[in-house]
């Protein structure tokens, strides 16, 4: 039997075993039939230039993953939604904002384009819009009812209104709001909506407008496993962070550079968050040995990041290492370890690793 006698379905079964993109490209050059079948069986595509999108995208009607890290507009998103209705993953994240010497160039991604995606791609479950200038994601969130992962990091136009819509989702599991201009109003929407029963990972790093009031509301998130509140400013203190101890499902917590967080927060976490595995306290200068020692009897914590915590001493770490059998490593800044007596370093290292950070 010659290759030319094979039907499209048979060629498709062969191509299912070809995963290397360069091999698939070579296969597509054999003849028109191989070119057509390769397009029909392609599941993902990464686009670098959008000028010829309308020419080549119809070759790939069955893709489930679309990636593009260049500027894109509403018309192109509408065409994507119409051409690739089986889309599940949309990655439009920018590695850096686009700009030239004189002016910043903004995306033209508005409600119409995102709405078309929500309407046309019913299986859409993962949307990454990092650093995009999105005017609103309300329509997308309301239409994409299977959305589980949403990355809005550094999207400067995200508002509390967007969070209200996201809060109504009962499917969302991972939400990244790093650097967004949200307030306590938005946090309360997340904490009191359907999302509070599905969210497992929440990133609030660099959200300077939130305060203890909003942070306290997060205690209602009954499934949350990972929370990043690094560098959220001086309005987040022990008042709010102590309330986080009510989240008993919490496994990873980042409180780095919260200058008003101290020992009461650690005491509450050590007592109540028995599933906690990793805590990042980088730059929390008010924390002392008393807070660290509270984890000595914790049966689950595996890692503590203590860089630039200048009120913790070697004997505090030794007490922690001797008492906490689950501890695997602590992270210190390089100068801190150099000042420790060698015998104490050796004693601590018998029970856990000491990792130095510059």
Q: What pLDDT, on a 0 to 100 scale, did the predictor assign at position 279?
A: 98
Beta-carbon contacts of 1 under 8 Å, excluding residues fewer than 6 positions away, are: none
pLDDT tens for 275-296 read 999 999 999 999 999 999 999 9
Higher pLDDT, 101 or 251: 251
Q: What pLDDT, on a 0 to 100 scale, did the predictor assign at position 1?
A: 46
* pLDDT (average), residues 42-55: 88
- Beta-strand relationship, 149-151 and 65-68: unpaired
Range with top average pLDDT, 94-98, 170-174, 347-351? 170-174
Q: What pLDDT, on a 0 to 100 scale, did the predictor assign at position 105?
A: 45
Q: Which helix (H) or strand (E) holds 352?
A: none
- Beta-strand relationship, 252-254 and 44-47: unpaired
Name the H helices within 224-313. 238-241, 263-272, 289-293
Q: What pLDDT, on a 0 to 100 scale, did the predictor assign at position 103?
A: 36
- For residue 51, the SS3 value is coil
* pLDDT (average), residues 24-51: 70
- As a whole-number percent, the residues of the chain with pLDDT over 70 amount to 84
pLDDT tens for 167-187 read 999 999 999 999 999 999 999
Q: What pLDDT, on a 0 to 100 scale, did the predictor assign at position 109?
A: 65
Confidence of residue 132 (pLDDT cuts 50, 70, 90): confident
């Amino acid at each position: 039997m010659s290759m030319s006698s094979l039907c499209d379905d048979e060629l498709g079964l062969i191509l299912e075993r070809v995963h290397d993109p360069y091999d698939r490209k070579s296969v597509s050059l054999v003849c028109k039939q191989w070119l057509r079948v390769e397009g029909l069986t392609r599941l993902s595509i990464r686009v670098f230039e959008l000028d010829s999108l309308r020419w080549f995208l119809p070759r790939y009607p069955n893709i489930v993953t679309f990636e593009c890290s260049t500027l894109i507009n509403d018309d192109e998103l509408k065409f994507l939604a119409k051409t690739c209705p089986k889309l599940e993953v949309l990655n439009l994240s920018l590695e850096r904002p686009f700009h030239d010497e004189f002016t910043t160039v903004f995306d033209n991604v508005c409600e119409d384009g995102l709405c078309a995606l929500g309407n046309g791609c019913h299986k859409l479950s993962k949307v990454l819009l990092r650093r995009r200038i999105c005017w609103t994601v309300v329509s997308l969130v309301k239409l994409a009812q299977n959305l589980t992962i949403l990355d809005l990091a550094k999207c400067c136009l995200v508002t509390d209104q967007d969070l209200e819509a996201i809060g109504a989702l009962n499917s969302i599991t991972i939400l990244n709001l790093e650097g967004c201009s949200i307030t306590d109003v938005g946090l309360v929407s997340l904490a009191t909506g359907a999302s509070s029963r599905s969210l497992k990972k929440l990133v609030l790093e660099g959200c300077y407008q939130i305060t203890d009031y909003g942070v306290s509301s997060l205690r209602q998130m009954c499934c949350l496993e990972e929370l990043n509140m690094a560098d959220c400013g001086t309005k987040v203190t022990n008042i709010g962070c102590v309330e986080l101890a009510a989240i008993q499902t919490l496994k990873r917590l980042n409180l780095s550079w919260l200058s008003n967080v101290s020992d009461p927060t650690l005491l509450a976490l050590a007592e109540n968050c028995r599933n906690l595995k990793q805590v990042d306290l980088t730059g929390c200068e008010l924390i002392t040995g008393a807070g660290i020692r509270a984890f000595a009897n914790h049966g689950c914590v595996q890692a503590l990041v203590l860089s630039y915590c200048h009120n913790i001493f070697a004997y505090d770490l030794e007490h922690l290492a001797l008492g906490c059998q689950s501890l695997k490593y602590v992270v210190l800044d390089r100068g801190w370890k150099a000042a420790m007596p060698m015998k104490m370093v050796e004693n601590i290292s018998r029970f856990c690793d000491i990792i130095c950070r510059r």
